[in-house]
A = this chain, B = another copy of it.
């Protein structure tokens, strides 16, 4: 978005504003009218420039066929994570969510499997909004990778080392030591539950 000219930003904002208030993108004529261009081609040229710079996409031949690239790439919903695969690998994406109800920036949603965080009010099948980070603060709920397994646990750190704690009395803590291939994939920032 940084190398857009002042006029290109204006055109981009008109498109965004139209989507917001009308629910659909503007036509060339509408853009021209709003920005007081006397030729529809002025809008057309700007659209071409915006496509070239990668911030919008055009659907040729289609009326109002303009898509914001930021909208296209929604938030992936990760179902189960195949052993050993990167968490956001294509095969792990269950679907793509195009609205983020949480007030925080979320990189992906993870569908919770199992009851290990039940005492933190996170149930089987809940969707956890995750912000990707490599580190965590003491006490935060994190998505961690242990060898090939991805789990949701509370992160605890003290003089004796790092522990991953389940919020369920029937699960025991995991002490992280050198024998384990351990990494933090992200920090849980919110949840969505679709089935009450």
Which A residues form the contact surface with B (CB < 8 A)?
A: 19-20, 22-25, 27, 59, 63-68, 71-72, 97-104, 118, 120-123, 126, 141, 188-196
Q: Can you add 13 more A-B contacts, CB < 8 Å, to A23-B72, A190-B196?
A: A19-B23, A24-B25, A24-B64, A63-B64, A102-B192, A121-B121, A121-B126, A141-B196, A189-B196, A190-B195, A191-B191, A191-B192, A191-B193
- Indicate if the CB atoms of B192 and A190 lie closer than 8 Å: yes
Q: Are B23 and A68 in contact (CB under 8 A)?
A: yes
Set of chain B residues within 8 Å of A65, measured between Cβ atoms: 24
Instruction: Give bound CA distance, A126 to B196, whole Å.
Output: 13
Distance of A34 from chain B, by nearest CB (Å): 15
Contacts of A20 in B (CB 8 A): 98
- In the assembly, what is the distance between CA of A178 and CA of B51, in Å? 65
Q: In the complex the two chains form, what is the Cα distance from A193 to B189 in whole Å? A: 9
Given known A-B contacts A64-B64, A123-B121, A104 and B24 have beta carbons under 8 A apart: no
Q: How far is the CA of A156 from the CA of B68 in the complex (A)?
A: 47
27 A-B pairs with C-beta separation under 8 A = A19-B23, A22-B67, A23-B24, A23-B66, A23-B71, A23-B72, A24-B24, A24-B64, A24-B66, A64-B64, A97-B101, A99-B100, A100-B101, A101-B101, A101-B192, A104-B194, A120-B196, A121-B121, A121-B126, A141-B196, A188-B196, A190-B192, A190-B193, A190-B194, A190-B196, A192-B192, A192-B193
Known contacts: A59-B22, A118-B121, A122-B121. The answer to whether A103 contacts B64 by CB under 8 A is no
- In Å, the complex CA distance between A126 and B189 comes to 13
